[in-house]
Amino acid sequence: MRKLGFNNKTYIAEQTRRIRERIERFGGKLYLEFGGKLFDDFHAARVLPGFDVNGKVKLLCELKDQAEIILCISAKAIEANKIRADVGITYDLDVMRLIDSLRKMGLYIGSVLITQYSGQAGADVFRKKLEMRGERVYVHTLTKGYPSDVDTIVSPEGYGANPYIETSRPLVVVTAPGPGSGKLATCLSQLYHEYLRGVRAGYAKYETFPVWDLPLDHPVNVAYEAATADLRDVNMIDPFHLAAYGTTAVNYNRDIEAFPVVRTILGRICGEDLYRSPTDMGVNMIGRCITDDAVVREAARQEIIRRYYQARCAYTKGEGDLEACKRIEFLMSSQRINTNIRRAVAAAVEKSRESGRYAVAIELPDGQVVTGKSSELMNDTAAAVLNSIKALAGLSDEILLISPVVLEPIIRLKKEMLGSRYPVLKLEEVLLALSISAALNPTAQLAMEQLPRLRGCDAHCSDIITQADANTFLKLGVNVTCEPQYPTKDLYFK
């Protein structure tokens, strides 16, 4: 069993209580800007062992009788076909995926809002597609005067030019598939219209990271900086909070920089000074639910290393910049850590050097490191997973879980009938073959039963793996990193 450092049950209870308190503070109507990922928040689960990857959406389920959701998406993101890197789909497709997933959990989706609209054809197509399926869609254009001309912003020419989004519940959760979707502007625009209608309402912000009541240099907060190095986010002591209360709190640069304008706009709309600092706006209770700081610190240090390899690979693929890599290297130096703390790294590199083939190493829950190398039958990821589940099942390394008699016809099919350029079997294909073997082979069945025990394990590859293998590792819950080098000189690699 892995050590846990976070109590998810306490978190759900405390976070629910905090949000309800904020609703009551504003007389029963709250617009909650909801940042981060609703589903599959693997970053939070990695740095806070014990955190449920779907904890935030389960939190909303605790409030579902009071809550409705507005899903925002930027027209610019639609037009640019912006992709969510973690799931590999465009923002517009992710909005539809979120709607389906949230409704299956009993949550109420009030509407979809297309923000920053200026005639983008892609946004028009997306709107029509949703409306043809019966969804309620609103459109907001760029706010006149934003961000500095408050007199224009809080006027009929500014927020008043936006259509009012009809809502019916005390808690309105404003969320999006990713950053830059206009969540804050949506909340402020809605407040403007609510007060015009004589409805008292409030605003609050829910962000998982940085954790405001952990030290600035705590590895959990540093890991957040590493995760957003490409966005140039920087954690800072909130100067407004320090001046107002004499206590330190951690926030990040964009919120701190925007606070004077947001504070002025809120004051102009509501007629009172609602908050004295950007930290005051937040409702995050994560810091109160950490049960073992040492476990959490170590998990966060590991995440910083993962982010380093992720940035290096992105740079190698031409999808990232060198500045992000250097930024994470600086963060590693500030934490006095290097890649050696990730035990699978040295094992994978050494296995590849010894064998002359690409290799993968996986660190099992008991600390044992198991390796696998590529062969004529399967790639290195598949070999490493098979060897790992054999080790977990207590089986000899010499035992063949899948007979070559089964694997070779699959390879011939891929090569001769399907025209595959790389007929060697990938991880998912080998696991499917293993599941078939398990139907008649008790040893294969025993090995199959070990797959859940790989969840949370660290793996490292001596080369950049395919997106298909990366997705399979994600489904298995294996935290994988790669050396920033391609396994082939071919330009087409997917």
- Distance (Å, rounded) from C-alpha 331 to C-alpha 312? 14
342-482, what's its fold? Cytidine Deaminase; domain 2 (3.40.140)
Peptide bond into 365 cis (omega under 30): no
- Distance (Å, rounded) from C-alpha 224 to C-alpha 300? 9
Q: Looking at residue 469, what is its pLDDT?
A: 93
Q: Looking at residue 233, what is its pLDDT?
A: 86
- Distance (Å, rounded) from C-alpha 127 to C-alpha 484? 40
- Residue 84 three-state SS: strand
Peptide bond into 147 cis (omega under 30): yes
Mean pLDDT in the chain? Answer: 93
Q: Looking at residue 364, what is its pLDDT?
A: 96
Q: Look up residue 424 and give its two tokens.
A: 């060697």
| 294: confidence class by pLDDT, cuts 50, 70, 90 | very high
pLDDT at 42 over 80: yes
- Distance (Å, rounded) from C-alpha 307 to C-alpha 463? 16
pLDDT at 342 over 70: yes
| 36: confidence class by pLDDT, cuts 50, 70, 90 | confident
Q: Looking at residue 68, what is its pLDDT?
A: 97
* Ranges of CATH 3.40.140.40 domains, the chain: 342-482
pLDDT at 490 over 80: no
What radius of gyration, in Å, describes the C-alpha atoms of the chain? 25
pLDDT at 422 over 80: no
Q: Looking at residue 407, what is its pLDDT?
A: 85
Angle between helices 183-196 and 253-270 (to 10 degrees): 10
Q: Looking at residue 476, what is its pLDDT?
A: 94
Q: What are phi and psi of 386, to 5 degrees?
A: -60, -45
- Beta bridge partners, 172, equal 31, 68
pLDDT at 403 over 90: no
Determine the straight-line distance between the first and last CA of the chain, rounded to whole angstroms.
35
The owner of tokens 């025993």 is: 446
The owner of tokens 């010894």 is: 354
Amino acid symbol at 238: D
Task: Summarize the confidence of residues 345-361 as an average pLDDT.
Answer: 96
The owner of tokens 């993962």 is: 306
Q: Looking at residue 423, what is its pLDDT?
A: 79
Q: What is the pTM of this model?
A: 0.90
**CATH class of the domain defined by 8-216+233-289:** alpha beta
Task: Summarize the confidence of residues 80-89 as an average pLDDT.
Answer: 80
Sheet-wide strand order for 458-461: 369-373, 359-363, 458-461, 479-482
CA distances from 28 to 162, 239, 363 (A): 24, 30, 50
CA distances from 221 to 44, 103, 282, 288 (A): 11, 33, 16, 15
Q: What is the pLDDT of residues 301-315, one digit of tens each?
A: 999 999 999 999 999
Q: Looking at residue 404, what is its pLDDT?
A: 82
CA distances from 368 to 344, 371, 380 (A): 10, 10, 18
Q: Give the alpha-carbon dihedral of 387, 392, 398, 404, to 10 degrees.
A: -50
Q: Looking at residue 39, what is its pLDDT?
A: 85
pLDDT at 115 over 70: yes
* Ranges of CATH 3.10.630.10 domains, the chain: 8-216+233-289
Q: Look up residue 102 and give its two tokens.
A: 């949230």
- Dihedral over Cα of 18, 23, 24, 25: its sign: positive
pLDDT at 488 over 80: no
Q: Look up residue 333 and give its two tokens.
A: 């130096």
Q: What is the pLDDT of residues 240-285, one digit of tens each?
A: 999 999 999 999 999 999 999 999 999 999 998 899 999 999 999 9
